[in-house]
Amino acid sequence: SSGCAYDSTMTLSEEATERLADVVELQPTKNSELQERWDMEGGSEVHQYLENELGDYYFRDDNSLIRATAEANDLVDVEPGIESDPDAEGVPSKIRVPELQRQIVAVLAGPDDESESVVSVLHSLRDEFDVDPDSEDVRSGLQSLRRKGVVEVEYRTVPTFRLAVERDELEVSVAD
C-alpha cells in the first residue's frame, strides 16, 4: 500500500452506512441480532461483513459484544441505542429499542419486585398490550435489554428477569 496512512479513511457505501447505523442503534449487540436485522444466513456472514466493510468502526467489548467506535457514532445520524447518566454508575438513563422491548420494560417486574420468567412476561404483554409475541422473541428482547444494562437476570429453576433500574428513571423510545 502506498500513500500516507491518512488516505485509508474508507467511504462507506449506502448499505454499509445503514448497517453501521444499526450497530450504533443496537449496541451492545451480537452477531445473531445483526443477522436478524440484516436478514443474513448466519453469524459468520455477519462477522465477515463487519470485518470487511465496517472493520474500522466497531469493536468487541470485554463480553464479546459488538459496539460502535466513537467515530462510527459521529458518522451516522441515529441516536445511540443507549445513553448513560454519568452519575448512575453505568446504568443507562435512555435506551432506544424495538417496540416489543419498550413493551417489556413497561410490564417487567421492577428492581425491588420478584423477578419473573419469560412466560410470565409474555402473559403480562398479552394482558397489557393485546399482543401475542413468540416466547423466543420475548426471551431475545429480555436478553437484549440485559445487554443494555437495564434488565438483570436471576437464575432460579428457569431464568427470571426484572428491571435493573427504576421504570421512571429510564426514558425508552422506539427505534424505527
What percentage of the chain has pLDDT greater than the value 70? 87
- Determine the pLDDT at residue 96: 79
Q: Using one digit for the tens of pLDDT, what is the confidence trace for 79-117?
A: 666 666 555 566 777 887 889 999 999 999 999 999 999
| Within a domain: 46 | yes
| Within a domain: 49 | yes
Q: Using one digit for the tens of pLDDT, what is the confidence trace for 35-65?
A: 989 999 999 999 999 999 999 999 998 888 8
| Within a domain: 152 | yes
Q: Which stretches does DSSP call E strand in 9-167?
A: 58-60, 66-68, 82-84, 92-97, 116-117, 151-155, 159-163
Are residue 68 and residue 140 in the same domain, yes or no? no
| Within a domain: 134 | yes
Residue among 38, 25, 15, 157 nearest 97 (CA): 25
Q: Report the C-alpha gap between 165 and 48 in whole angstroms.
A: 36
- Rounded to two decimals, what is the model's pTM? 0.64
| Within a domain: 4 | no
Q: Residue 163 is part of which domain span?
A: 94-174
Are residue 98 and residue 75 in the same domain, yes or no? no
The tally of domains found in the chain comes to 2
